[in-house]
Amino acid sequence: MSTGFFDGLAPARFEGAESTNPMAFRHYNPDEIIMGKRLEEHLRFAVAYWHSFAWEGQDPFGGTTFERPWHPQDSMANARLKADVAFEMFEILNVPFFCWHDLDLRPDQGNFADNLATLNEITDYIADKMQTSRTRLLWGTANMFSHRRWMGGASTNPDPNVFAFAAATVKSCIDATHKLGGQNYVLWGGREGYETLLNTDLRLEQDNMGRFLNMVVDYKHKIGFKGAILVEPKPQEPSKHQYDFDAATCIGFLRKYGLENEVKLNLEQGHAILAGHSFEHEIAVAAADDMLGSIDMNRNDYQSGWDTDQFPNNVPEVAMAYYHILKSGGFSTGGTNFDAKLRRQSLDPQDLIAAHIGGMDICARGFKAAAAMITDGGLEQSLSDRYAGWHDPQAKTMLAGDLDTITNRVLNDNINPKPRSGRQEILENYVNRFV
């Protein structure tokens, strides 16, 4: 029986670029074959349970605005109603995946035993719903940043009892993700960082975080969870400074704690911006180290300097992100999770559907532009031309030499390099042909 929440809203269909129907896809046709694969299988869209169903519209200055039938989210009855509505939206969008935090699914009970019991209860309920739904779990994660117990960190807390509570919580969430057939498990450390160095032991906190992540990886193998373990970089917000600052920082951290072959990255557009990078930079950095796992798609307001988690709306940005994803071979266990929320005045159920349709369409447009650039090969050609000198045997030998042998060669052969154009504007013009 339907909850009635989305009454009057039909399943969203692909109608083509000429359509003026605001509730239809104009660019996202899941069955379109691109580079030999269905668009749906390339993009692997996921709905984020937290923004769409758990967030009630608060901002730092105002209370809730949404007043959904499953609010307040303090009972298991409302948790079940929320799940019913979520699966109705998945069906309207025909979306292949969803993602959750434990806290999105059911309220925190204030102690671990009850948290565990209610998590099992609601994920059994969701497992039942998944029997008749095509929507799969892209990833699960633990919310270890909202409840006051986490205010000084989870695995990086000065209190070992908080570390213990965090370990038990993550175990319960990996178990639940495994039970629901999740394809990845994510750790984002919102409180894994510090507010002031005056009260923070950096070395101890980071060692504990490294130990914690090693326990997570060991546990994954112990229970036979085949999904990827992903960490999600973000420089700040809520903590003043977060240890998982950006992709490069995470890669260094994973190497230091011996996790470089076990853990990959979940990269988010808005977090890249907060770190002073572009999304494509973060993706390219991860890909260059074979650590690209999955993406959280959204956009930030470029003026505000906050993590505004808006739905994506910029085709050139999205195109370059997917260009680097495709160049590195595309997603395997990862996908495109809409870590994006409505603006708090967008009250109607229709707004929720329209936001996702728009986001999926923008991603499809960007993806197709990226695929066209890959197929055309212009950027790759220009790269290989630019670095062609390194295929010369003498250049390769040089890397095996030392400063003395190289200096002798520079003197003997009278080496005097001629600067060559980087052709940036020509390449930008090239990209603009596709986006």
Active site residues per annotation: 101, 104
The residue (of 14 and 338) whose beta carbon lies closer to Ni ion is 338
Confirm or reject binding of residue 307 to ligand XLS (CB under 6 A). Answer: yes
Handedness of CA 310, 314, 317, 322 (dihedral sign): positive
Which of Ni ion, ligand XLS, none lies near 342, with the C-beta cut-off 5 to 8 A by kind?
none
Angle at the Cα of 138 (from 206 to 359), degrees rounded to 5? 105
What is the smallest separation between the CB atom of 99 and ligand XLS, expressed in angstroms? 8
Residue 262 to residue 269: CA distance in whole angstroms: 23
> Residue 141: which of ligand XLS, Ni ion, none does it interact with, CB under 5 to 8 A by kind?
ligand XLS
**190 φ, ψ to 5°?**
-60, -35
- Residue pair 88/5 in contact (Cβ under 8 Å)? The answer is yes
* Element (DSSP H or E) covering residue 228: strand 228-231
What sections of 158-276 are H helices per DSSP? 160-179, 202-223, 247-256, 269-274
Q: How many CA atoms lie within 13 A of 71 on its CB side?
A: 13
Structure tokens given for 406: 């190289």
Answer yes or no: are the C-beta atoms of 367 and 34 closer than 8 Å: yes
Give burial (CB, 10 Å; 0-12/13-18/19+) of 434. buried
Nearer to Ni ion (CB atom), residue 116 or residue 250? 250
Residues between 255 and 274 with contacts to Ni ion, criterion CB under 5 A: 268
Measured from the CB of residue 145, what is the shortest distance to ligand XLS in angstroms?
8
Residue 74 Cβ vs ligand XLS, minimum distance, rounded to whole Å: 21
Per CB under 6 A, does 368 bind ligand XLS?
no
Of 178, 234, 277, 365, which lies in the binding site for ligand XLS, with binding defined by CB under 6 A? Answer: 234
Nearer to ligand XLS, 94 or 157 (CB): 157
246 binds Ni ion (CB under 5 A): no
Closest CA to 367 of 23, 20, 33: 33
> Nearest distance from residue 57's CB to ligand XLS, in Å?
16
Residue 243 within binding range of ligand XLS, rule CB under 6 A: no
Q: Tell me how far, at minimum, the Cβ of 258 lies from Ni ion, in Å.
A: 25
- Which of 281, 339, 340, 349 lies at the binding interface for ligand XLS (CB under 6 A)? 339
Select the residue interacting with ligand XLS from 94, 123, 135, 141 (CB under 6 A).
141
Task: Pick the closer one to Ni ion by CB: 246 or 268.
Answer: 268
Number of residues that bind Ni ion (CB under 5 A): 3
Which of the residues 90 through 129 are near ligand XLS (CB under 6 A)?
Answer: 101
| Residues 6 or more apart in contact with residue 17 via CB below 8 angstroms | 26, 27
88 sits near ligand XLS (criterion: CB under 6 A): no
Find all residues with CB under 8 Å of 409, minimum gap 6, and list them.
398, 415
- Which of Ni ion, ligand XLS, none does residue 282 bind (CB under 5 to 8 Å by kind)? none
| Candidate residues 296, 310, 370, 374; the one interacting with Ni ion per rule CB under 5 A | 296
Closest CB to Ni ion among residues 34, 291:
291
User: What are the two backbone dihedrals, phi and then psi, of residue 110, each rounded to the nearest 5 degrees?
Assistant: 90, -10
Q: Does 246 bind ligand XLS (CB under 6 A)?
A: no
Interface with ligand XLS, residue 188, by CB under 6 A:
yes
Tell me which of 244, 246, 268, 282 binds ligand XLS, using CB under 6 A. Answer: 268
Is 104 one of the binding residues for Ni ion (CB under 5 A)?
no
Scanning residues 313 to 342, which ones bind Ni ion (CB under 5 A)? 339
Q: What are phi and psi of 134, to 5 degrees?
A: -90, -10
DSSP state of 197: G
Shortest reach from residue 191's CB to Ni ion, in Å: 14
- How many residues form the binding site for ligand XLS (CB under 6 A)? 10
Q: What angle do CA 162, 54, 42 make, to 5 degrees?
A: 100
Query: E strands within 15-96?
Result: 33-34, 37-38, 45-48
CB count, 10 Å around CB of 118?
A: 18
**Residue 232 within binding range of ligand XLS, rule CB under 6 A:** yes
Residue 170: count other Cβ atoms within 10 Å of its Cβ: 23
Asked whether the beta carbons of 294 and 139 are under 8 A apart, the reply is yes
Q: Which two tokens stand for residue 189?
A: 């450390």
How far apart are CB 307 and ligand XLS at their closest, in Å? 5
CB of 186 to ligand XLS, least distance (A): 6
Task: Give residues in contact with Ni ion (CB under 5 A).
Answer: 268, 296, 339
Task: Give residues in contact with ligand XLS (CB under 6 A).
Answer: 101, 141, 186, 188, 232, 234, 268, 296, 307, 339
